Amino acid sequence: MPCRRSRRRNIAPTVTSVRSVDVLVVGAGLAGLHTARLLAEQGFDVVVVDRRRSLSAGIRTTGIFVRRTLDDFDLPDHLLGPAIRDVLLYPPSRRAPIRLTSDRDEYRVADMAGIYEHAHRAAEAAGAQIALGVRYAGAAMGLVRFAGADPVTTRFVVGADGARSTVARDLGLDVNRRLLVGAEIVHPIAPTTAAPTFHCVLDPRVAPGYLAWVIDDGQHAHIGVAGYPGAMRAGIRHLLEEFAAHAPGRTAAAGPGVRRGRPIPGGGGLRRVGGPGRLLVGDAAGAVSPLTAGGLDPCLRMSELAAKVAGGYLRTGDQRELYRYDGSALRARFRGRLLLRRALAGIRSPAAAEAAVAALRTRAGRAVAARILFGDGSFPTVAPVTANPLAG
Ligand SMILES: Cc1cc2nc3c(=O)[nH]c(=O)nc-3n(C[C@H](O)[C@H](O)[C@H](O)COP(=O)(O)OP(=O)(O)OC[C@H]3O[C@@H](n4cnc5c(N)ncnc54)[C@H](O)[C@@H]3O)c2cc1C
């Protein structure tokens, strides 16, 4: 779906009379757009910039939303593919996959161009101004500079500029150092009546430290691989081709495919994600489940807290409002998942992956797998804390 471009691309009238805004959000991904909307709804003057000229270009995600997100957030039904209850987990041999079936609808794959467009419209309707084709170029002496627009001064900066956040670096916040990388091919498929299934392959030859997958949204198949870039000697592009050629569950392409890919924060959330006049959301904050690499739920969930604390701070000037936005508290909730992530990263040979899948065939193993895949804990609720995360 084509994305509507902002009618007001020049976000400052002239350099000599620099425009001043309450909040500048850098990045119009799901995290940036949702935070912008919530802050604009509180009555703040919000500007969002994104270097992309269209939000339907350069999509970086498969778009799998999990049950908990679907339950808690109001995503437009017509933009979501059919509900998925079945997961097939394959060893490297691809033989005898483990089938796990939930008695609830667990996943739906979204039309992400439509989701971004919807979030864009919602943010604009709330009063936020969205400037596309504008690249954040740095901040100094209270002035934020762009390529593609005039500078602004702002009371608050939200860094929603993804896993390799420039805003985080410029504003002295933590930056993602442990990164996975993911890539996928998306191609149209012919209509089918088969029950949609999420195919997951544990094979360190194509997805070292993570998984390869095949899933469809009813209209498109997504075939992807993710893992540690340092272990992908042949390069992710080549591994994706190799996997796609024999991917289990793959449906024949009914048209040309497009590729998506990007780094994925894999460290389990950054600690220092906020400070006076600034905070990070989404991938920029490392807010991705360390085990499932799911980042869409955190984009929405964390943005809600971000907008609350930033709004409180802007209204009162009280820095204690920002204490509630604490990356360390989040990391503490991830401890178990970080351990499992390390275990997954330790599976380095096909033999070890076969053994891991064999262990998951047992009753206890199936219970663990079902808990990871169908549990509610992919990303914890971000609760307020009392300690001062801004110190040290
Ligand atoms: C292949 C792949 C598949 C994935 N699949 C899933 C999935 O199915 N489900 C799930 O939950 N998670 C998935 N993830 C993770 C999830 O997609 C991300 O965590 C989530 O999209 C992050 O959203 P965000 O808004 O934080 O960042 P992004 O969507 O990356 O948005 C950042 C925005 O900032 C802009 N930007 C960057 N620098 C600048 C600058 N200097 N100036 C202006 N703009 C700038 C970019 O153009 C971009 O629009 C996947 C990731 C990958 C790589």
Whether residue 263 contacts residue 164, with contact meaning beta carbons closer than 8 Å, is answered with yes
Q: Which of 122-126, 187-191, 339-343, 374-378 has the highest mean pLDDT?
A: 122-126
Q: What is the pLDDT of residues 120-162, one digit of tens each?
A: 999 999 999 999 999 999 998 889 999 999 999 999 999 999 9
Is 114 within 8 Å of 79 (Cβ atoms)?
yes
Q: Are 319 and 313 in contact (CB under 8 A)?
A: yes
- Of the two residues 32 and 327, the one the predictor is more confident about is 32
- CATH number, domain 64-109+179-265: 3.30.9
**Residue 4 confidence (pLDDT):** 41
Give Cα separations from 294 to 51, 90, 180, 316 (angstroms): 24, 20, 12, 34
What pLDDT shows up at residue 221?
95
Q: Whose CA is nearest to atom 37 of ligand 1?
A: 161
Cβ neighbours around 320 below 10 Å, total: 13
The answer, yes or no, to whether residue 103 has pLDDT greater than 50, is yes
Ligand 1 and 25: CB distance under 6 A: no
pLDDT band at 195 (very low <50, low <70, confident <90, very high): confident
Band the pLDDT of 16: cuts 50, 70, 90.
low
Sign of CA dihedral 232, 234, 236, 240: negative
Of residues 292 and 130, more confidently modeled? 130
356 CA → ligand 1 middle, Å: 30
Nearest to 320 by CA among 242, 388, 384: 388
Instruction: Say what the pLDDT of residue 194 is.
Output: 84
- Residue with CA nearest ligand 1 atom 8: 64
Residue 378 has pLDDT above 60, yes or no: no
Find out whether the beta carbon of 64 lies less than 6 Å from any atom of ligand 1: yes
pLDDT, greater one: 175 or 140 = 175
Residue 292 banded pLDDT, cuts 50, 70, 90: confident
- What pLDDT is recorded for position 5? 41
- Nearest atom in ligand 1 to 181's CA: 53
pLDDT of 389: 34
For the segment 225-243, the average pLDDT, to the nearest whole number, is 96
Residue 390 DSSP label:
T
Instruction: Measure the CA–CA gap between 175 and 164, rounded to whole angstroms.
Output: 7
Portion of the chain with pLDDT greater than 70, in percent: 92
Determine contact, residues 228/208, Cβ cutoff 8 Å: yes
Instruction: Report the distance separating Cα 89 and Cα 107, nearest Å.
Output: 15
C-alpha 352 to ligand 1 mean position (Å):
31
Q: How far apart are CA 278 and CA 310, in angstroms?
A: 8
CA dihedral 229, 232, 234, 235 (to 10 degrees): -30
353 or 379, greater pLDDT: 353
Look over the chain and give the mean of its residue pLDDT values, rounded to a whole number: 90
User: What integer pLDDT is reported at residue 25 of this predicted model?
Assistant: 98
pLDDT at residue 14 is higher than 50: no
The predicted model gives 199-206 an average pLDDT of 97
The domain ranges of the chain are: 19-57+112-176+267-337, 64-109+179-265
HEC-encoded secondary structure of 261-324: EEEEECCCCCCCCEECCEEECHHHHCCCCCCCCCCHHHHHHHHHHHHHHHHHHHHHCCHHHHHH
Alpha carbon nearest to ligand 1 atom 33, residue? 27
Find the distance separating the first CA and the last CA of the chain, reported in whole Å.
45
Summarize the confidence of residues 380-388 as an average pLDDT: 46
pLDDT, tens digit (0-9, with 9 covering 90-100), for 253-290: 999 999 999 999 998 899 999 999 999 999 999 999 88
Report percent pLDDT > 90 for the chain.
78
> What are 180's two structure tokens?
């996975």
Q: Which residue has the tokens 């191609």?
A: 187
pLDDT at 381 over 80: no
Q: Which two tokens stand for residue 173?
A: 């916040």
**pLDDT for res 10:** 54
Cβ(160) to ligand 1 under 6 A? yes
Helices 30-41 and 112-126, packing angle to 10 deg: 20
Q: Pick from 49, 56, 62, 281 the residue to mutate for probing ligand 1's pocket: most ligand atoms within 8 Å of its CB.
A: 62
Report the pLDDT value the prediction gives residue 391, as an integer from 0 to 100: 34
Q: Does 292 sit in the ligand 1 pocket, CB within 6 Å?
A: no
Q: What are the tokens at 164?
A: 């390799």
CATH 3.40.50.1100 is held by the domain 19-57+112-176+267-337: no
Report the alpha-carbon angle 295-282-3, nearest 5. Answer: 90
- Does residue 113 have a pLDDT over 50? yes
- Range with the poorest average pLDDT among 45-54, 203-212, 369-378: 369-378
Task: State pLDDT tens for residues 299-313.
Answer: 999 999 999 999 999
